[in-house]
Structure 1
Amino acid sequence: MEYTYLLIGLIISYLIGAASSIILNKKDHLCACAAFISASIASVFGIILSLSVVFGETFTFTLSSSSFLNFGFFVDRLSAFFILLISIAVFAVSIYSIGYAKEYFGKKNIGYLGFLYNIFILSMILVVTANNAVMFLIVWELMSVISYFLVVYEHEKPEVRKAGFIYIVMTHIGTGFIILSFLILASGSGSFDFETFSSTGAAMPQMLKDLVFLFALIGFGAKAGIVPLHIWLPYAHPAAPSNVSALMSGVMIKTAIYMLIRVFFDFLGAGVLWWGVLVLILASASALLGVMYALMEHDIKRLLAYHSVENIGIILIGISVSMIFVSSGYTELAAFGLIAGLYHTVNHAVFKSLLFMGAGSLIYSTHTRNMEDMGGLLKKMPWTGLFFLVGSISISALPPLNGFVSEWLTFQAQLLSINLSDNIIKIAVLSSGAALALTSALAAACFVKAFGISFLALPRSKAVEHAKEGPKSMLFGMGTLSLLCIILGVLPFYFVPVLNSIAAPLVGTTISKVTFDLSLAVFSLRSESISTMWLFLMLFIFLSLPFILALAVGGRTPTKTYDTWGCGQPVTTARNEYTATAFSKPIRMWLGNIYRPHREIQITYAGSPYFKERLTFDAQVEPIFEKYMYEPVAGLVVSVSRILRVIQTGSIHAYLAYIFITLIILFAFVISGGG
């Protein structure tokens, strides 16, 4: 009964937030407060509900029941984990949004934003709690359509409309494959209930299981953003308001991860080796290509969008290794791989939401997404700079923050593949470890660029010169997730046992030994352990020690200010600074066969060809997937459509003739015995 009240309180709070947005539509400030405070209250209900189930028992609630359809809610530990994930991000982002929405006061319809925001979050909660395929598809479609309207919130911009079109096309292609996978499962089980899928899915003929696996991988992979189905992310995430981008990247794409885990492990049993190998290949490619393309971006939100592709790849590496271990009979190792994937899922939700909020704060104050126009913002926005730095360290997998822990667990899962008997599979898994190591190094380089170019040196534009810190609610939201990045990194020994209990029902066993002290020794077959708590303490001590010694020896000394050396120029200006383009050029040259870069140089002469007044340099990389995969397919579709257009005459007589011919064909088919 307690679970029911919590679920009802959650749903009602989101509905109140949506309704109040419409009612208070004419009063921007009051409307924003009502919409986002209601969402934050609803997220508290979600946090309490999810923790109750994680540390309690499974919760079911039936809305309507029949012999064919059984609509209701089903919350086991896996569902509760994703409810917790969504609710934590929503709490921080909703508080942040109270201040961020001021950017649109007097310009856009705040009531419309608040309504869509609350319904969007509610749809995500319903997606991870639906107990029936039909109900799931309804709320999945609701989530997709509402998120589309959020993406095109600033629809007056052509690039936003393009982003929305690409997003809605890709998400509905994915939905088509999801429907096919559910239809096959329903035909084999005789029901659309997820519970029936779980009990009968593994017993289906192998060919049908393979089809379900492939259709689910394509359908949910399109929403998750795995390569090569990722092309909508770099368009949609930058186009949406930054608070929405934080939720889309932080938690919406995780609903696809939830269903991939549900289908692979719960419905199908994950007992086929080539399934895990295929997911591993796609995951490694996503991780590596995602970070490579992020390095070339100067639009800070597009950069973060590509890092979503990277981190979805890292999550799926852990999941795919778990699938390989399940198919090979190593269930404890499988539990370890799944724990690594789940840990990175929550970590990515936290630090990616934080980074998108940080980017939103920069855009709020500077009105630009181009890092080349930023610079010197650390002095003007010190708290935003600090929080963005925490997110940057986390996503770069540097100790002692949370990204390091989950990637360390993933590396350990990959190294445990030495226990496999198949040498080819062993080499494949270890090779994915090399790809992950390169991914981590490139991610660190990317965020040295992102933080350094945006926050350090001198301002590169007049808008940046007048930037100032955002509202306190925005700082509170970012500070909350920054604190979580530290807690999840320093205290992993509290969270791994919880993830162990979540993974156990999916793989059939738990890890036999998980230490519960200041070190994290996660598996009994290996002796490796690491303590991020001690790393944090040592880092604090060694960073503080030089300052303490300096004060003890020399006491306080007066501050002296000097000009930075400006390459021999008499006056140091922003023109002397390192640019984002220059920073990434060595990598662009090193990986030129993949990037296929091209550059445009425009020269303005001062009256004579011997005197150059201005030189403009623009370097771009070739969009390989769009040019060689999607554009040919789109061209084919357009060509076929033009051919088929001839049957659309606009004449009622022609349409009646089509119907008559169809009926004759069907009649002939029936009388020939085809019925």
Structure 2
Amino acid sequence: MLVASALSALLALAVLGVLAGGEVWRHRIVYLGCAVASLILIAGGLKHLGQTPGTGPAIVLPIGLPWLNAHFRLDNLSALFMVLVNVGTTAASVFGIGYTSHLPEPRRVTPFFPLFLFGMNAVLISDDAFMFLVSWEFMSLASWALVMSDHKNAENRQAAFVYLMMATFGTFCLLTCFGLLAGAQGAYSFPAMRATALDSVSGFLVVLLALLGAGSKAGLVPLHAWLPLAHPAAPSHVSALMSGVMTKVALYGLIRILFDLHGHVAWGWGAALMVIGGVTAVMGVLYALLQDDLKKLLAYSTVENIGVVVIGLGLAIAFKDGGEKALAALALVAALYHIINHSIFKTLLFLSAGAVITATGQRSLNALGGLLKRMPWTGAAALVGALAISALPPLNGFVSEWLIFQALFKGPSLPHWAMKFGVPVVGAMLALAAALAASCFVRAYGIAFLGRPRSKAAAEAHQLPGSMRWSMAVLAALCIILGALPVTVTDAVSHVVQPLTGVSFAVSADLGWPWLSPVSSTRGSYSGTVLVMTGLSLFVISILLVHGFGTTKVRRADAWDCGHAEDIPQTQYTGESFAQPLRRVFCGSLFSARETVDMPPPGDNSPARFKLRVVDHIWVGLYLGIQRLVGYVADRVNRMQFLTVRRYLLMMFATLVFMLLVVAVRQQK
């Protein structure tokens, strides 16, 4: 079996990574092996994608719990996620071939990289709760070790600690969730869970715990705190996988529980998910707008896109419970398509950021500039990724968000008043997030790649090895292909959602290839193929007209210099100045953003000082509050170590009396 052999190869590569020592070429062999294993897993996923539900390959191994064994299965949903996960891992592995020589301690990265890949793929094929949770922890601990690779940095140690705590919290929630799904019989296999009937309380708790467990790993607000800490701390090719791939494994877990194992989620949870997704999308992009660190900006952008996906999932739940199965299938297809698209363009953008950091040694936007001329491959690939994440046609990000909007337009048709009034509000939040995302990446790309270099490091930036460039080029090409030929992918995804929603829904049913017409051929249709062909035709005609009728003389002139001849990079826009109008509009209340200017009096030659104060109320109010509470309780409990013997005996006596009272009450009942 292709999948089993590839997973075995990843474990062998982890051992080889331990033995690699200080030889760079040995580390490169490990990354090359990871790329080959990922390609094999893509082939295995494509082979089983579109199969008849219930006919996927299954394996039972005599490991795990004594009475359960280990169950593995590859169905349509896991096959789709296996393809999209390993597209990202292939690109990151090829990128790592050239990137490994730039790591300060590659021996702390290479052994855990194939283990991380193994853990993510093992989650996808697990067919019982025990193996799912073991694989989930395997994925979490391997990624934690990669975040800790540069352990000498205090910020990295703090980021790894926060990540580990959030991962532990998420696993605990999922453990309890699967316990409720298993019921009193302890049926931990997924087929048995599907047949278990849940009462109203258990069903409510299952959805809540799944949302907390998978949502903390995906990055839903307010469970997103670890993303902007862990992603910058990890090596760039690992950051690409954590943001572009691992968060999709978390969404896979959420979809598996809500649409498959539970299967009967009430519409109220769908409405709640839509609101949570809308808040997450807006808050995530506002966080991103405030960042000067390139990798933190991309991490917060992941939060925004996870919110977009959750809006689609919530809408699918509401439609499914309301009996609108076709619309539920449309919303789920849109959410899955955005998962695919975000996996590709976010992996591309993180690899581009890694290339910039490798070439310049800088992560601050205000220390970059003018990189497009010095790094044309990276600049072109990053431009495609920035356009795709900004949801601009004809790239792939536009298609999936357009499909989510098409599903949202039908939301008020549901009979619930909360949906009639809530869907337009969520739609407005999604539109606002899309507009802010475009502004965010105009800011990021313009300051990093255009203009003049703002530092010596940016002025001396150099081109990177071929493996790093080609990995970005392939991902950029996929962004264009998925935007130009979306019908092929949406038709394949429709087979995945059929067993989850009970209906087969072809997004191109009305008009056929290459048109998307999810609602009506007259009221909502789009074709990326036609748009691309029209754009290329106009481009060719323009070139012919210019060369046929234009002048052949060459004219040269200096670039516009803002009215003065001095070449002063400091006169350019900075990240803070670009974001200032939006910061003043949105962040004054949300983040308590305050600007102060210390202007020296006349005659004083000291420079003016600008200070910006931004408060993350979620971090201060929630996480620091929990930290203070835990510290307070720990201090009080710690005093119990220093009690007298008489007080210890009194505590034992009080405990005994309490237990006797409990037994007496139970006997009376």
Secondary structure at the aligned position of 2:525 is classed as coil
Alignment of 1:448 with 2:447, yes or no, is no
Please give the alpha-carbon distance, in whole angstroms, between the structure 2 residues aligned to 1:645 and 1:388. 53
- Residue 465 of structure 2 aligns to which amino acid in structure 1? P
Please give the alpha-carbon distance, in whole angstroms, between the structure 2 residues aligned to 1:45 and 1:651. 65
Tell me if structure 1 keeps the 8 A contact 2:508–2:515. no
Q: Deviations over 1:485-520 (max 9, x none)?
A: 011110011111111000010011111663441221
| Aligned counterpart, 1:151 | 147
1:146: Cα distance to partner? 1.4
Using a 3 Å threshold, how does the CA distance of structure 1 residues 639 and 572 change in structure 2: closer, same or farther? same
- Residue 89 of structure 1 aligns to which amino acid in structure 2? G
Tell me if structure 2 keeps the 8 A contact 1:73–1:130. yes
1:660: Cα distance to partner? 7.9
Tell me if structure 2 keeps the 8 A contact 1:13–1:41. no
Using a 3 Å threshold, how does the CA distance of structure 1 residues 505 and 464 change in structure 2: closer, same or farther? same
- Residue 61 of structure 1 aligns to which amino acid in structure 2? I
Bigger mean CA deviation after superposition, 5-14 or 205-214:
5-14
| Aligned counterpart, 1:240 | 234
Alignment of 1:75 with 2:74, yes or no, is yes
For 1:35, which of 6, 30, 33 is the aligned residue? Answer: 30
1:260: Cα distance to partner? 0.9
Secondary structure at the aligned position of 2:410 is classed as helix
| Aligned counterpart, 2:642 | 649
Map 1:332-481; keep pairs closer than 5 Å.
332-481=326-475
Please give the alpha-carbon distance, in whole angstroms, between the structure 1 residues aligned to 2:330 and 2:514. 19
Alignment of 1:637 with 2:630, yes or no, is yes
For 1:113, which of 106, 109, 113 is the aligned residue? Answer: 109
| Aligned counterpart, 1:89 | 88
Alignment of 1:142 with 2:138, yes or no, is yes
| Aligned counterpart, 1:208 | 202
Using a 3 Å threshold, how does the CA distance of structure 1 residues 655 and 544 change in structure 2: closer, same or farther? farther
Please give the alpha-carbon distance, in whole angstroms, between the structure 2 residues aligned to 1:166 and 1:280. 27
RMSD: 2.2
1:112: Cα distance to partner? 2.8
Secondary structure at the aligned position of 1:463 is classed as helix
Tell me the TM-score normalized by structure 1: 0.94
Using a 3 Å threshold, how does the CA distance of structure 1 residues 609 and 506 change in structure 2: closer, same or farther? same
Please give the alpha-carbon distance, in whole angstroms, between the structure 1 residues aligned to 2:371 and 2:422. 44
Secondary structure at the aligned position of 1:341 is classed as helix
Bigger mean CA deviation after superposition, 519-528 or 398-407:
519-528
Using a 3 Å threshold, how does the CA distance of structure 1 residues 512 and 586 change in structure 2: closer, same or farther? closer
Bigger mean CA deviation after superposition, 326-335 or 413-422:
413-422
- Residue 629 of structure 1 aligns to which amino acid in structure 2? L
| Aligned counterpart, 2:570 | 575
Secondary structure at the aligned position of 2:70 is classed as strand
Tell me the TM-score normalized by structure 2: 0.94
Please give the alpha-carbon distance, in whole angstroms, between the structure 2 residues aligned to 1:528 and 1:585. 37
Secondary structure at the aligned position of 2:62 is classed as strand
1:659: Cα distance to partner? 6.8
Gaps of 5+ in 2: none
Q: Deviations over 1:415-435 (max 9, x none)?
A: 112321223312211221111
Secondary structure at the aligned position of 1:433 is classed as helix
| Aligned counterpart, 1:62 | 60
Tell me if structure 1 keeps the 8 A contact 2:173–2:210. yes
State how many pairs are aligned: 661
| Aligned counterpart, 1:103 | 102
Tell me if structure 2 keeps the 8 A contact 1:53–1:80. yes
Bigger mean CA deviation after superposition, 148-157 or 415-424:
415-424
1:15: Cα distance to partner? 1.5
Tell me if structure 2 keeps the 8 A contact 1:598–1:622. no
Please give the alpha-carbon distance, in whole angstroms, between the structure 2 residues aligned to 1:316 and 1:270. 17
Tell me if structure 2 keeps the 8 A contact 1:287–1:312. yes
Please give the alpha-carbon distance, in whole angstroms, between the structure 2 residues aligned to 1:513 and 1:395. 22
Q: Deviations over 1:562-591 (max 9, x none)?
A: 14223x434121011111111100001111
Please give the alpha-carbon distance, in whole angstroms, between the structure 1 residues aligned to 2:230 and 2:107. 21
| Aligned counterpart, 1:272 | 266
Gaps of 5+ in 1: none
Using a 3 Å threshold, how does the CA distance of structure 1 residues 498 and 650 change in structure 2: closer, same or farther? farther
1:189: Cα distance to partner? 5.2
For 1:584, which of 579, 583, 587 is the aligned residue? Answer: 579
Tell me if structure 1 keeps the 8 A contact 2:371–2:461. yes
Bigger mean CA deviation after superposition, 186-195 or 291-300:
186-195
Bigger mean CA deviation after superposition, 15-24 or 473-482:
15-24
Tell me if structure 2 keeps the 8 A contact 1:514–1:523. no
Q: Percent identity?
A: 36
Secondary structure at the aligned position of 1:557 is classed as coil
Alignment of 1:538 with 2:530, yes or no, is no
Bigger mean CA deviation after superposition, 645-654 or 450-459:
645-654
Tell me if structure 1 keeps the 8 A contact 2:490–2:506. no
1:451: Cα distance to partner? 0.5
Please give the alpha-carbon distance, in whole angstroms, between the structure 2 residues aligned to 1:338 and 1:644. 48
Q: Deviations over 1:594-643 (max 9, x none)?
A: 2321245567x8xx972334334342421110122222222111111111
Secondary structure at the aligned position of 2:110 is classed as helix
- Residue 71 of structure 1 aligns to which amino acid in structure 2? A
